Structure formats: structure tokens, C-alpha cells
Structure 1
Amino acid sequence: MAVSPSNSRPSPHLLAQEMALWRRHHPFDAMTPEALRRLVESAEGLYFAPGETLTAPGRGPAQHLYVVKSGLVSAQRGLAELAGGWQYESGDCFPMAALMQGREVTATYTAENDVFVWRVPAEVVREVAGVSPPLAAHLSERVLQLISLASREQARQASQAALAEQSMERRLGDLMRPSPLSVSPDTPLELALKAMASRRVGSVLVVDTEQHPLGILTRDDLLERITLPQRSLATPISKVMSAPLKTLTVEHTAQDAALMMSRFTLRHVPVVQDGRLVGIVSERDLFALSRMSVQRIGADLRNAHEVAELVDLAPRIRELAKNLGAQGVGARTLTALIAHLNDLLTERLVAIHAEHLGLDLSQAAWLAFGSEGRGEQTIATDQDNGIVFQSADPEADRPRWLALGQAVCASLEACGFPLCKGGVMASNPECCRSVEEWCDRFQSWLARGTPEELLAASIYFDARALAGATALADPLRAIARGPVSARFLHLLTEAALRGKVPLSWRGALDPQTVRGQEGLDLKAGGTAVFVESGRIMALAHGLEHLGTRERLIHAGELMQVAAPEREGWNAAFEFLQSLRMRIQLEAPADPDNPNWVPMSQLNDLDRRTLRVSLRVAQRLQQRLQMDFLKS
């Protein structure tokens, strides 16, 4: 390796020439002159001969950022191996993830030919990234790439535990039955029914001249729509078809179809491409992918008439989640499925107990808070719920609704949902209020809440009505979606930033010892950072979104955060959620905290990606501090 002859500060003329060379490449072309000048002035010019190693594992934490001036550098082994190796040419930077995390590199970087680079000290890069959004976003792209690689590797490992043809991640384009039976709207019923019998299928689709699906007639419809009304077989099928249709595209997955079937009580889902009918997927098709049907469990939950039936059904939800998790279903879909089925279970419990107590649910609504409100429940989740009721005399009416809350909460506990340690349950008078009382409480938090009160109350801002007169929750949602005062955001941010991301000052994992084992709480210092950040950003911009992913994406767009950084937030959140689900599906090491994972249960790839994801969480906290803790 030969160092450039002069490492002294360049002359103004030479500095301008060097800056012009840097500006040929992104992100340097988008940086301010001051920020770029700081990098260029600190850069050291180096030459590497063909075959020479620039940096490799075993040399300690990365101390420099390399920017290729000319030549070709290859990266092999480590995480680079998962992508078949990387190559860096003029304008490319490395090793970004290792440098930002303060760890050693995982790949060996080798000069393929004569290579000239600029080498910038790590402390300078971090300093400039803190004031230069284009550089920070570029560094985040590498973080996102690393998380993506790790997620792909996790999916690969999970898929080895299940046959490829049984994966709920399969595209509908690969799963569907092509060329489904279809007829025009004016086709007489007689011809349509004969075609169904001839093809031995249970449905016929109705399409227009351009093959756009308009409706469907299934075997289940025959009695109600044709036989009992004594329809003439000369009747056009358009008079009896179900319309409009729920459809999915060839790029959707089997899990998307399963969720749609359960939500809308369907047995068939037409598949389209560019709006035109190309196939159909039935409930029977999905049975081949999973030993249990989301639609069937959903139907059983809806049809339950006794609490004991629901207590028996609850374990099937967790068993289904375990099966799908073993097949490589992603955390986003898995948490949505769990939340959806838990919603159905709760709705039935509310309806059953309301009937037993003689209560009119048109006067009240059951509320879900926290992860259930956001639709992000994992396997291990406790209760966060409440009741809002309509009343001119709340004190007189409250006992009736409290009785409902106590009955439902007790049944949820019997179904495997622990009671909330913080008392956020409909069985508590504090969480069983009239519309006016809830609105007053929300307004009080907004106007006078202390940081301690806001930290405890933050989950209420994820409120969602599940059962009963759901419109009664609209005034609460109107307040909860903001926008809110700068003071409120300041206090809420202060409360949220008390949670420490478990990383040392050098960016290494910083585990705690529990029951004699070192480990990490994946929720407290991990997913909670993204949840709280998304909530604060949504409140600041008056967003209606409840899901953390949607909040981060849409708020990030309004805040003009670069796309790679926004995607990095969601990729890190998704990884942490996936890891939480994996640990919960196994036997939890700490019975008192299902989100705690021993370090011994993490492989090398888990640890590396966990560091990257927690670093993203740390930077997200820094953004909150800059945006909402301004003096």
C-alpha cells in the first residue's frame, strides 16, 4: 500500500478539484459545500496494488470509510457471501454498516486491479452524517441492505423446516387454478349451471368483454338465490351473482388470500393481472398449504355461542401462528393474522356476555388499545382494553358496563390473555367511561399531562373500536389523531426517550443478566422505540394510521425523510418483530418476560442484524430528539 505523497491540508485550488471529483457521485453531489469540504479535507489518498487487501475481519472495529476514486474492489465472505459478493467501483463507499456500528468488518475487501481510494476517519464521517441528511440517508441504504440480506437468510432457514409447496408465502400466480370458469353477464342460469356441473367446479365467475371480473355465483348461493326464490333458469346470471367482487393480483400471496377469506367470509378469491381475470383460489387450495385454515378458525369463532367454545378455540390461534411461522410467514402478516383472529374472539365474547347481561350494544363499544389497537399483536400479549358508552348519567350507568368489562376480561384471561399489570382493562372504572368522559380525559392529557402520565397513557392513543356501536369511538379517534401542541409532543418525546436502546457507546450489543443468563429485551429497547416514534410522528402530523409501519412511512414522507431511511425504519422494525415472534414460538427463557432473548439463542447473523436494527432505532431516537425537543 502506498500513501499519497502529501497528507497536509490541500491548497484551495487542489481542494476545489478534489471536491469536484467527489461531486460526480451520490451522495456527495447532494451535500452542502461545508459538509463535503469537511470530508475532503480529512481524506487521505491511498493506492492498493492488485490482490492487496484494503481491510478484513480481525483488524478491530472499522476506523475509516473508504471512497473508491478509481479501480475495482471486491468484497467476499461474511454477509457479502449471501449476495454472491459485492464489487465497488468509482464513487462507491465501504464499509458503511461496520463503521456506523463501531464493529469490525465481516467481509474481506481486495483490490481487483490498481485501486486509488480516499480514506476518511470514522469520527469525521459520523460527525458529518449528523448534520448532512444526504450522507446519513446513504449510510442508511447500506443498513437497509444488510437487514434485507439477513431477512432473506432467515426466510431461507425457515423454509427448510417446511416444504416449499406448503409455504404461505407462495404467489397466487403460482398457486391459482388458471382459466377459471367464466361467463358473460347475460348468460342464462341454465347454461351457467350446466357449465359448473360439466367442469365439476363450485363457482362460476361473471366477466365483461375485456375479462374484467364483475361477480361470482357459487354452489352455496343456489338455494338462497335461485331455488327458494324460484328463479327461472332463463334469468341472466347478472341478476343473481354476488357483486362487487373482492380480488387479489398474481403478486399477492396465499397468506393474503387466507386473510381476505377470513375477513369477508369468502370461499373463493378471483386472481387478476392488469385487472383481467387469470385464475381463482379457493379455501380448499389453501388447505394444501396449512394444516389449519384461517378462514375455518374465523368461521368457528364467529359461530361460537358459549364462552367454553371460545376458550377451546383460542389455542388453535396460537397453533396456527406456530405453523405459519415455521413455514416462513413474515412478521407483518403473522401479527395481522393473529390480531384479526383475536379480534373475532373478543367480538364474540363481548356479544355473548352482553346478551347474558341483557345489555344493548348499540349504546356502547368495546375498545382495543396498544398492540391490539394497532393490529400488531404477537403470540405473547396481555390485555389492553376499555369500554366507551353513551349516557346522560355515567355514574348511574357505569356499573352495568363494568359488569360487562369484568366478565369479558375474565373470559379473555381464560383464553390465554393475561390481565394487564397496569390495569388498562374494561373491568377498571378508569377504562369504562362515557364518550364525554373519555374526551375530557384525552383533552386533559393533551393540555396538562405530565411526562409520567403521558408515558402511561400513550397506548390509549392507539384506540380502536372492536364491537358494539363503533361510531362512539370516533370522537376519541378525532382527538387521538392530533395534530397536537408542541408542548405535548415535547413531553411525549421526553417520556419516550427514557427507553434506552441496548447498545454500548461503541455500538456493540449491551445485554443484561437475567436468571444467570445474558440477554436482551427485544420489546423495551427495540420494537417499542419504533412504536413510540411512529405514534409521536402520527400525532405531530394528524395522521389517522394506527399501524406502526404505516405511521413511519407516511409521517416520514411528510417530514421529507429520504426513502432509504424510511425503509430502514420498517426493515429494522420487521426484523425485531420477527425475532420476537420466533422467540415466543419457542419456549421463552424468562417466563415473566416473553420478549427477553438469551444471547446464547442468537446465531452470528442474528447478532449482526440485531446490532444494525438497534442502531437504526438509536438514530430514530436521535431524530425525535432533534425534531421534537427543540427549545
Structure 2
Amino acid sequence: MAEDNQFFRAVRDFCQRDVVTCAPGDSLVDAVGIMRSKNISSIVVISDGKPHGIFTDRDLRNKVVAQGRTPTELTVADIMHSPLTVIGEDDVLYEALYRMSRQKIHRLVVVDDAGLLTGIITDTDILRLQAHSPHQLVLDIEKAASIDDLRDLHARIQQLVLHLSGTGIAIRDLVKLIANLNDQVLIRLIGLLRAERYPDLTDGFAFVVMGSEGRSEQTLSTDQDNAIVYDDALGGDEIARLEAFSVELIDCLISIGVPPCPGGIMAKNAAWRRSLADWKQTLNRWLTTPTPEHVMTGSMFMDLRTLYGRDDLVQNLRDQAFRTMSEDQGFLMRMAQNMTNFLPPLNWLGRIKVEKSGPHRGMVDIKKAGIFAITDGIKALAIEARKLDGSTHDRMEALVAAKVLKAGDAADLRASFDFMVKLRLRGHVEALRAEATPTNYISLELLNAMEKGELKLALEGVARFQSFIKHHFNLQLLRN
């Protein structure tokens, strides 16, 4: 178990501190001489005191030798790789692994909060830690050769999470692990389908995920929320092939074990597969006529994240949304009002209220009790401040930096959010172990006295946050 937890320790504990550097204008021949004398395969390029690029022996082979260029006429800047992919020294090791795997690179430059070089970490450093680990699972996903392989790997992800739950891993890291592994499965599935069935498929599209998946906040029972945005210039035949691909992709995803969206929010359905222009019209309709249905749909859509393909299409769409909501705050106000309608289940004595009858008697829907209010309240603030990237945690940090939230208030809210997500994930794990269907309900009877007290404090924190949102967005001005 301790070996598993290695992957949730800080990169600073594993990176190499002795990093050889050079300047962009240094002679290529001199840089290669240093690499040979020190028996290293890369040099970090420093400009204005900060990491600017990296030069590797692969760059020498591919950009100089293979192209017949004259080394004596070149500087490091002529062939280095830039911009540089870096990682913070306080980020966890699994995040380093994920970035290397996603970007198909073998090393990351490590920086401090000021962006200054502090070390370097390679995939070999990580491989030394453990052969059977989240890292091995990522490698197996990358090598998956069939849908059956991915089905087995999806089951292994669930087993890994069952194994890691309760080990003391921070809930933020565990949830991100689930999201990252699920990303990898979906990306590999797209690659397999394109290679085997759709080699002629256009590149003019983006496959996006939304909701909790878009925020990288998935738990074990999260269903699908995805869509496709495609280039306006695509022809009829290209669109037809994209439609066939979308249907097969989602059907395969379901067969692997990822639950379908009950509301049909999946790229296989025409309503969630549109051209950029069509999506702009649709999004504009949601944002300018904030009916309850449009608010719920539009809010979920604003979590969109490009998982595969043309991110410029998605950024174009998001930029329009920002412009529209900056001109008219009606949608944001209705979105904020909606999250305040999900009152924490506390009675006038401050005690936690539970379901009185039915199949969930004695239980609390932890998502409706507080998780939804926090994610959507933070999302509304982030949209207004144009700080929408990343998870709810990332957005909170950005809002503190932008002085929208006080650091202390954000810390309290983050603690409330993490505790409720932890209870939700624990409930999912317990359900799977009992071979039952996971839900968002938790039983108060299964919480000890300390956990009940912490849940009460978390729900009180949600209520305070809702009061803040009401004041911030002047919801008293809205007519019901």
C-alpha cells in the first residue's frame, strides 16, 4: 500500500536536482560536447533565468543528422524543443506521469512557484518505483490493442480505486487519478477506432467532455457527458463519417463499462454533435433565454474540456460565451439562483435532515446537499472572472488570486467540498464491494460521531457560501 502512495507524493521528492543547462545562443557542437562528457541525453535551455526549452539527443538525430544539416553552423536555439512542458515541484508524481503519457514525452522540467528551475524528472525515474502501479496501468492502456483490452482495463481502474480508497490519499488526488485514467481509456479508444475503422476521418473536430468529467472530478459511477464540435468547412461526406464514428465511439464506450447519460448528453446524438456555427447559435439561445432547462444545460456545458482534437474550436465557443455573459448577466444570475435553491438539509436546530421514507430512508443525497451548490457557485464566479480552467479546486485558487474570494473562506469551502466528495466516493466504493449500484446517497447511520460533526460543519459552510453568492450576484433583484 505504501508503494501505491508513492505516486501521490510531491515531485520534489523524486526529481533529479543536478541539471545541466545552456543558453539558446550556445553553439550546438559545444552543447553536444557537454552531453557526451557528462553522459547525459538532454540539456535544459535557460533564457532570462528561467527554463525556455530543452535539447535532447533525439533532437540531434531527427533535426540535424536526418536532415543533413551542418552542426557547426547551428545554435541550440535552432533545434531545441520550445515551449517547454514543466511541472511544479509540489505537484504529485502521478500528475508528472500523466503529462508525460499524454504528451508522449520522456522527461519534465521541474520548477518552483516563481517558475525557476529546480530539477528534472524522467519516465525512467518513475519506472524504478514500482512495476505494478497506476503507472503500469497507464502503460497498459497505451498498449491496448482491442475493445476487449479496454474493457478489462476499465475494470482494473475500478479495482485500483477500490484498492487505494481509505489509504490516506488526498481526495483531490484520488479523484484526479480516476479522471486521468478514464481520459486515457477514451483517448486510446478513439485511436483504435480511427486506425481500424475510420482512417479517413476528418481532423476538423473536437471531442469534448462536460460536467464533472470536464472538471476532472469523476467518481466511480459518473456517467457520460460528451459532445462533438466540428469545423464549419466540413463537407457532407465528412460529416456523415463523423456521425458514424460518433455513434460507434459511444456504443463502444458503453460496452467497455462507462454508463450512458440518462439524458442523452452524448456525441452519438445529433443534438450534441454540431458545427461550430450551430453550437454558437445553440449556446447563444441558452445564455440569452435563461429558462430553468437552459440554465441547467448551459451550466453543464460551460465545463467543456477538449479531450481529443481541435481545441481552437472549443476556445472559440468559450470566448463567445464569455462575451455574451459579460454583456448580460441574466444567465449568470439565474445560474447562481439555481444553486441557492439546493438548500443544505439542516433543520432549524441545525441537525441534519434525512429521507423519512422510501428506498433511501435515513439517507442524504450528498450531491444535492452541498456538492452541487459548491461546484456551480464556484463555476458562476469563475465564468464572471474568466477563470474557468481546471477543477473546482483550481477555480477556487484562481478566484483567490483574483481577489474574488478571501483565502480563508476558500480554504473552508475547499475543506467542506473535499469532505463531501470523500463521503460520496466512499459510498460508491462500498456499493461496488457489495455488488450494488452506486448512488449519491450516504447513510447517516454509517458515519461516526466525528464524521457527523464534520458533515454538519460542511453543510453550514455551504449555507454561508450560498449567502455570499446571493449578495455577490444581487439575487434580490431577480423576479421569480
Shorter-chain TM-score above 0.5: yes
Matched, 1:419 2:260: yes
**How far, CA to CA, are the matches of 1:498 and 1:308 in structure 2?**
44
Q: Which amino acid aligns with 1:334?
A: L
Q: Taking structure 1 as the reference length, what is the TM-score of the superposition?
A: 0.63
- What secondary structure sits across from 1:361 in the alignment? coil
User: What's the offset of the Cα at 1:544?
Assistant: 4.0
Instruction: Mark the CA change 1:316 to 1:547 in structure 2 (over 3 Å): closer, same or farther.
Output: same
| Counterpart pick for 2:121 among 281, 285, 294 | 281
CA distance in 2, matches of 1:181, 1:542: 38
Counterpart position of 1:37? none
Contact 2:360 2:441 in 1 (8 A): no
Partners of 1:357 and 1:437 in 2: how far apart?
24
Counterpart in 2 of 1:629? Answer: 475
Residue of structure 2 equivalent to 1:189: 32
Partner Cα separation in structure 1 for residue 255 and residue 338 of structure 2: 34
Task: Return the letter of the residue paired with 2:365.
Answer: D
What's the offset of the Cα at 1:447? 2.4
Aligned 1:260-409 pairs, distance under 5 A: 260-272=99-111, 279-287=119-127, 289=129, 291-292=131-132, 297-298=137-138, 300-302=140-142, 304=144, 306-322=146-162, 325=165, 327-354=167-194, 356-357=197-198, 360-391=201-232, 400-409=241-250
| Aligned pair partner of 1:445 in 264, 280, 286 | 286
Kindly state the Cα deviation for residue 495 of structure 1 after the two structures are TM-superposed: 3.1
Query: 1:173, 1:250 within 8 Å by CA — same for their partners in 2?
Result: yes
- In the TM superposition, what are the counterparts of 1:460-499 in structure 2 within 5 Å? 460-481=301-322, 482-483=325-326, 485-499=328-342
1:516 and 1:445 map into 2 onto residues whose CA distance is: 34
Cα distance change on mapping 1:405 and 1:332 into 2, 3 Å: same
Relative to structure 1, the CA distance from residue 494 to residue 281 in structure 2 (aligned partners, 3 Å threshold; closer, same or farther) is closer
CA distance in 2 between partners of 1:393 and 1:253 (Å): 41
Q: Which residue of 2 aligns with 1:44?
A: none
Aligned with residue 527 of structure 1, among 359, 365, 371: 371
Does the 8 A contact of 1:339 with 1:376 survive in 2? yes
In 1, Cα distance between the equivalents of 2:4 and 2:207?
Answer: 40
- 287-296 vs 458-467, which moves further: 287-296
Residue 418 of structure 1 deviates from its aligned partner by: 0.2
Alpha carbons of structure 1 residues 250 and 539: separation in structure 2 relative to 1, 3 Å: closer
Structure 2 SS opposite 1:462: coil
Higher strand residue share: 1
AA paired with 1:341? L
Separation in structure 2 between the aligned mates of residue 528 and residue 195 of structure 1, nearest angstrom: 54
2:215 and 2:303 in contact (8 A); partners too: yes
The answer to whether the 8 A contact 1:179-1:279 is kept is yes
Equivalent pair of 2:287/2:294 in contact (CA under 8 Å): no
Note the C-alpha offset of 1:528: 0.9
Q: Equivalent of 1:584, from 428, 435, 444? A: 428
Once the two structures are superposed, residues 144-191 of structure 1 have per-residue CA deviations (whole angstroms, 9 ceiling, x without a partner) of xxxxxxxxxxxxxxxxxx438953343333333443566785535355
Counterpart contact for 1:168–1:327, Cα < 8 Å: no
Which residue type is aligned with residue 335 of structure 1? V
Query: How far apart are 1:432 and its partner, in Å?
Result: 1.9
Partner of 1:205: 43
Aligned pairs for 1:9-20 (under 5 A) are none
Matching residue's letter, 2:151: V
TM-score normalised per structure 2: 0.80
Asked if the contact 2:374/2:462 (under 8 Å) is kept, the reply is yes
Paired AA for residue 184 in structure 2? L
Matched, 1:608 2:453: yes
Based on CA coordinates, which of the two structures has the bigger radius of gyration?
Answer: 1
Distance 1:254-1:247 versus aligned 2 partners, 3 A rule:
same
Match of 1:49 in 2: none
Q: Which residue of 2 aligns with 1:431?
A: 272
Alpha-carbon distance in structure 1 between the residues aligned to 2:122 and 2:292: 51
Q: 1:326 to 1:269 in 2, by over 3 A?
A: farther
Residue 431 of structure 1 aligns to which amino acid in structure 2? W
Change in CA separation of 1:415 and 1:625 when aligned onto 2, cut-off 3 Å: same
1:507 aligned to which of 333, 338, 350: 350
Question: RMSD of aligned C-alpha atoms?
Answer: 3.9
Q: What are the Cα deviations for residues 579-608 of structure 1, in whole angstroms up to 9, with x where unaligned?
A: 333333444469444332222432333222
The AA in structure 1 aligned to 2:425 is: M
Q: Give distance in 2, aligned partners of 1:617 and 1:324.
A: 28
Q: 1:421 to 1:307 in 2, by over 3 A?
A: same
**Equivalent position SS for 2:257:** coil
CA positional deviation for 1:233 = 9.4
User: Is 1:452–1:495's contact at 8 Å kept on the other side of the alignment?
Assistant: no
Change (3 A) 1:480 1:190: same
Residues 163 and 353 (structure 1 numbering): CA distance in 2 closer, same or farther, change over 3 Å? closer
Deviates more, 1:168-177 or 1:179-188: 179-188
Aligned with 1:483: secondary structure? helix
Do the aligned residues in 2 keep the contact of 1:405 with 1:426 (CA within 8 Å)?
yes
Unaligned runs of 5+ in 1: 1-161, 197-201
Letter in 2 for 1:268: R
Query: Residue 171 of structure 1 corresponds to which residue in structure 2?
Result: 10
Do the aligned residues in 2 keep the contact of 1:167 with 1:327 (CA within 8 Å)? Answer: no
The CA deviation at 1:400 is 4.2
The aligned length equals 465
Query: Does the Cα contact within 8 Å between 1:261 and 1:269 map onto a contact in 2?
Result: yes
2:272 and 2:395 mapped to 1: Cα distance?
25
Residues 235 and 333 from structure 1, CA distance in 2 versus in 1: closer, same or farther, beyond 3 angstroms? farther
- Whole-angstrom CA distance in 2 between matches of 1:166 and 1:393: 47
In 1, the alpha carbon distance for the partners of 2:303 and 2:269 equals 18
In 2: Cα distance, 1:503 partner to 1:312 partner: 43
Q: Any idea what SS the aligned residue of 1:362 has?
A: coil
Would the aligned equivalents of 1:307 and 1:349 in 2 still touch at CA under 8 Å?
Answer: yes
In structure 2, the CA distance between the partners of 1:598 and 1:288, relative to structure 1 (3 Å rule), is farther
